């Protein structure tokens, strides 16, 4: 169990009573809260006018904002000294020792299309290092979480430890990306080269792809143009399950950008070699 120092005390400069809290249960509270907020907006039909970017009711944005506010409020009450970075409401105290990273609806296209492959990402960074992450899918009632050392799953099939596959070669690997359209120019050629070598490719997974990598069903996830909040909450899950995640250049992934996640070190090296010809 990962513990962090918190306290329901008001934010203050001086010393205050610290209490050690069960951190996993706190993140579960955030997941409960955001799930309850988002679900009433899922599969609410959009009128064509809304989809075309017109004014009016936009369920994804509404759900995104409501869930982020609910989580921010809950974090502020329990950890007033922690920083916050969210997709909708930006950064607050992001130089703090502990910073929360929130993406209420990762996979907005899936959400709009009624497909249950979107998820709520909740991450915690300690002194710059992602130290805890959760992906919550409230419609299916699935949770994937990890702390970089271990990763776990809870859902319709029960509870289990997450472990990546032992796949070592691209030609035996299941590859996924949200959409081939995310790769432009040279990256498009690089991705196509990888796709040609992989056993099979599947599109349309969003955050779910990384969770299925952690669970051993997908072997490689390759994406581009990610924001830091898209990937930070997933890093402790992938690494906790035994996987490797970096940029396409092999650097630390927490800034986002182009991302490669793989089941094993050997597979990861092979993917980088193919992408960086």
If one asks whether residue 189 binds its own copies (CB under 8 A), the answer comes out as no
Point out which span in 10-18, 85-93, 94-102, 173-181 binds its own copies (CB under 8 A): 173-181
Shortest CB 31 distance to its own copies, Å: 16
The residue from 180, 193, 196, 273 that contacts its own copies (CB under 8 A) is 180
**Torsion, Cα of 241, 242, 243, 247 (10° steps):** 100
3-state secondary structure of 32: helix
Shortest CB 205 distance to its own copies, Å: 6
The residue from 2, 218, 231, 238 that contacts its own copies (CB under 8 A) is 218
Q: How far apart are CA 239 and CA 218, in angstroms?
A: 15
Half-sphere exposure of 224 (CA within 13 A, CB side): 15
Taking a C-beta distance cutoff of 8 angstroms, is the pair 144, 152 a contact? yes
If one asks whether residue 216 binds its own copies (CB under 8 A), the answer comes out as yes
The residue from 141, 161, 184, 252 that contacts its own copies (CB under 8 A) is 141
193 Cβ partners below 8 Å, 6+ apart? Answer: 274, 275, 277
Q: For residue 119, which of 146, 145, 90 has the smallest C-alpha distance?
A: 145
Taking a C-beta distance cutoff of 8 angstroms, is the pair 262, 172 a contact? no
The two three-digit tokens of residue 181, written as one number: 């359209």
Shortest CB 200 distance to its own copies, Å: 6
Point out which span in 121-129, 196-204, 242-250, 253-261 binds its own copies (CB under 8 A): 196-204
The residue from 204, 250, 256, 257 that contacts its own copies (CB under 8 A) is 204
As to burial, measured by CB atoms within 10 angstroms (0-12 exposed, 13-18 middle, 19+ buried), residue 182 is middle
Nearest to its own copies of 66, 199 (CB atom): 199
If one asks whether residue 215 binds its own copies (CB under 8 A), the answer comes out as yes
The two three-digit tokens of residue 7, written as one number: 């306290």
The residue from 71, 167, 194, 260 that contacts its own copies (CB under 8 A) is 167
- For the segment 53-112, give every residue that binds its own copies (CB under 8 A): 109-110, 112
The residue from 208, 210, 229, 248 that contacts its own copies (CB under 8 A) is 208
Half-sphere exposure of 45 (CA within 13 A, CB side): 2
Residues at the site binding its own copies, with contacts judged by CB under 8 A:
39, 42-43, 45-48, 51-52, 109-110, 112-117, 139-141, 156-157, 165-169, 171-172, 174, 176, 179-181, 199-205, 208, 212, 215-218
């Amino acid at each position: 169990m990962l513990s962090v120092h918190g306290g329901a005390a008001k934010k203050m400069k001086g010393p205050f009573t610290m209490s050690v809290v069960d951190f996993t249960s706190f993140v579960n509270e955030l997941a409960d809260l955001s799930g309850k907020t988002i679900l009433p907006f899922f599969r609410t039909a959009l009128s064509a006018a809304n989809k075309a970017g017109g004014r009016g009711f936009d369920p994804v944005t509404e759900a995104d904002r409501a869930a982020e506010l609910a989580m921010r409020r809950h974090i502020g009450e329990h950890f007033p000294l922690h920083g916050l970075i969210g997709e909708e409401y930006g950064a607050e105290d992001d130089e703090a020792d502990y910073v929360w990273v929130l993406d209420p609806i990762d996979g907005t296209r899936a959400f709009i299309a009624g497909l249950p492959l979107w998820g709520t990402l909740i991450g915690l960074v300690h002194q710059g290092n992602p130290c805890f992450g959760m992906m919550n899918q409230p419609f299916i009632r699935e949770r994937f979480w990890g702390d970089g050392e271990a990763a776990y799953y809870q859902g319709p099939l029960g509870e289990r430890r997450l472990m990546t596959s032992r796949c070592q070669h691209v030609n035996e690997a299941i590859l996924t990306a949200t959409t081939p359209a995310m790769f432009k120019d040279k990256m498009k050629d690089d991705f196509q080269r990888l796709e040609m070598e992989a056993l099979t490719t599947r599109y349309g997974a969003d955050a779910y792809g990384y969770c299925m990598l952690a669970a051993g069903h997908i072997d490689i996830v390759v994406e581009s143009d990610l924001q830091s909040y898209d990937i930070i909450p997933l890093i402790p899950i992938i690494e906790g399950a035994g996987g490797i995640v970096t940029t396409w250049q092999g650097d630390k992934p927490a800034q986002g950008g182009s991302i490669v996640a793989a089941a094993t070190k050997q597979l990861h090296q092979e993917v980088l070699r193919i992408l960086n010809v």
